[in-house]
Structure 1
Amino acid sequence: MNEHIEPLRGQRILVVEDDYVVAVALAGLLEVLGASVVGPIGWANEALSFVELGKVPIDAAVLDLDLHGENSYAIAQALASRQVHFVFATGHAADEVDPHYRDRPRCTKPFDERALINALLPRSD
C-alpha cells in the first residue's frame, strides 16, 4: 500500500490509554493507517517506566490525559525530553489542559481519523 492509504507507515506509536475498549479501537485504527503500535499501556506509572527505560524505540505517542485518575503530564515530559512527538487524547476541553502543554496537539474522543493522522504525522521542525 502507498502512503496515501497508510499515512503512518513505518511509525512506531506508543498508545497510553486506560479504557480497554478505546485502547483496542485506537490500536486497530493506527495499524490500519500503517503504524506499528507499542502497547497499549493503561497505567501512568507503567507508561512512565516504559518511556524512561527506552528499550523499545518509539516515534510518537498518543496519551490519554487522565489515566485512572492520574494525569499523564510526567509521561509527556519524559517523551518531550527524548524529543518524541506526542498527542493528548482526551474528552477534556483545551482550557482544562495544563497551560504548559496547551501548545501540544490534542485530539478529542471519540477520535476523528483525519485529525489524529494530522496530529501524528512526523514533524519537520
Structure 2
Amino acid sequence: MDGTDTDIRGRRILVIEDDFLVAQALCSLIEEAGATVVGPLGWLGEALAYVESNKDQFDSAVLDVDLHGEKSYALADWLAERNVRFVFTTGYGADALDPAYSGYPRCEKPFDPRALFRALASRNP
C-alpha cells in the first residue's frame, strides 16, 4: 500500500474476529501491509481476558461487532478508555451498530483494504 494515510507498517494490531476464514484473510492483509498481527481471538470473554493481561502487546485493534452472538461493545469500551485505536468490522450495514458507537470507525465485510488501513493508520481514537 502506498500513501501515508494507509501506512500501518510497524503497528501491532490486535485482531478480534470470530469467523476463522475472515480472520485468516484479515491477518494476511495486515501482515502484507507490514504490521504485526496479535491474535486472532474469536470469543468476547477470551478477548477481554487477553487485553487485560497483555495491554502492551498491541497499539490498535480490528474488532468484529458480533462475536458468536455477543456484541463486542465491552471490549470497545475497554479500548476507548485506554485510547487504543480500533475499527469495528461487520458484515451488516451501519444500522447494525449501536448508536452509542456510531462515532467510531467501521468497515464492512468484505474489507476494502485501503479503507481499513486508513482507519487504523490514525493514532488518535
Same topology, TM > 0.5 = yes
> What letter is aligned with 1:76?
A
**Matched length:** 124
- The answer to which of 114-123 and 16-25 deviates more is 114-123
Superposed CA deviations along residues 45-67 of structure 1, whole A, max 9, x for unmatched, are 00011112235421110001110
Indicate whether 1:86 and 2:86 are aligned.
yes
- The alignment-based identity, stated in percent, is 56
1:73-103 deviations in Å (ceiling 9; x for gaps): 0110111111100000101211221111100
Which structure has greater helix proportion? 2
The AA in structure 2 aligned to 1:60 is: S
Tell me, yes or no, if the aligned pair for 1:3 and 1:9 is still in contact at 8 Å: no
* Aligned equivalent of 2:99: 99
On the 8 A contact 1:89/1:108 being kept in 2, the answer is yes
Match of 1:53 in 2: 53
Tell me by how many angstroms 1:113 deviates.
0.9
Residue of structure 2 in register with 1:65 after alignment: 65
Q: Are 1:90 and 1:107, in contact at CA under 8 Å, matched by a contact in 2?
A: yes
Conserved in 1, the CA contact under 8 Å of 2:16 and 2:47?
Answer: yes
Mapped contact 2:83–2:124 kept (Cα < 8 A):
no
**Equivalent residue of 2:30, what SS?**
helix
Q: Note the residue ranges of structure 2 that are not aligned, 5 or more in a row.
A: none
TM-score for the superposition, normalised by structure 2: 0.91
Determine which structure has greater relative contact order: mean sequence separation of CA pairs < 8 Å that are 6+ residues apart, divided by chain length. Answer: 2
2:11 is equivalent to residue 11 of structure 1: yes
Find the counterpart in structure 1 of residue 75 from structure 2.
Answer: 75
The aligned counterpart of 2:113 is: 113
Distance in structure 2 (CA, Å) of the matches to 1:124 and 1:3: 21
TM-score by length of 1: 0.91
